[in-house]
């Protein structure tokens, strides 16, 4: 990945180069001066100002095609196999995994998620999928710690300050 700096004269100057696989998606955090890039094997977080690499978010186990982030710091990634991972932006912890269901009559290869975004409230996720559907997801108002336990691992929290 190359991060570019705009020079005063209007010419571009290459910043740092990083060895990554093809970049399939970018998302800019709405309140922090940071962004994330999705490659086939993981997600990388960066500082926007100088392009400093911060951390890898690994564990999606599929080719990530799309991402979205809301103001609450929930990063969502969607992949070729229809899997959706919800990550905590700061720690990089994947706190929930979902699997979308392809439309009836579709084959398994049409389970992929090509694009996603949050609505203006940041509480509804909208996805565009390979089975020619647009799906909307919302927060479960009735979810509790007992019905949806999170296996929190504090040792994954990065010590690096943003």
pLDDT of residue 78: 95
What integer is the mean pLDDT of 16-28?
A: 77
pLDDT grade, residue 101 (50/70/90)? confident
Report the chain's mean pLDDT, rounded to a whole number.
82
Lowest mean pLDDT among 63-72, 95-104, 126-135: 95-104
What b/e sequence results for 37-57 when a residue is b if at least 16 CB atoms lie within 10 Å of its CB, and e otherwise? bbbbebbbbbeeeebeeebeb
pLDDT of residue 16: 54
Q: What angle do CA 139, 32, 14 make, to 5 degrees?
A: 125
CATH number for the 2-156 domain, one of 3.30.70.870, 2.130.10.10, 3.40.640.10, 1.10.8.870?
Answer: 2.130.10.10
**Most confident listed range (23-27, 96-100, 153-157):** 23-27
pLDDT of residue 52: 92
pTM: 0.80
Query: d(Cα 120, Cα 125) in Å, to the nearest integer?
Result: 10
pLDDT of residue 3: 56
pLDDT of residue 75: 97
| Residue 130, C-beta contacts closer than 8 angstroms, at least 6 positions apart | 102, 109, 110, 111, 112, 113, 114
* Conformation bin of residue 105: beta by default, left when phi > 0, alpha when psi is -120 to 50: left
């Amino acid at each position: 990945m190359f991060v570019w700096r705009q020079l005063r004269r209007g010419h571009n100057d290459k910043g740092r180069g990083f060895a990554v696989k093809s970049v399939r998606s970018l998302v800019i955090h709405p309140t922090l001066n940071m962004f994330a890039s999705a490659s086939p094997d993981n997600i990388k977080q960066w500082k926007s100002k100088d392009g400093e690499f911060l951390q890898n978010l690994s564990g999606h186990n599929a080719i990530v095609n799309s991402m979205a982030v809301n103001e609450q710091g929930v990063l969502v990634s969607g992949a070729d196999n229809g899997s959706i991972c919800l990550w905590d932006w700061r720690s990089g912890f994947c706190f929930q995994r979902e699997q979308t269901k392809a439309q009836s009559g579709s084959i398994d290869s049409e389970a992929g998620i090509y694009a996603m975004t949050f609505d203006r409230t940041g509480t509804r996720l909208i996805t565009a999928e390979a089975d020619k559907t647009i799906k909307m997801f919302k927060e479960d108002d009735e979810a509790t710690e007992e019905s949806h336990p999170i296996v929190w691992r504090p040792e994954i929290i990065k010590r690096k300050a943003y």
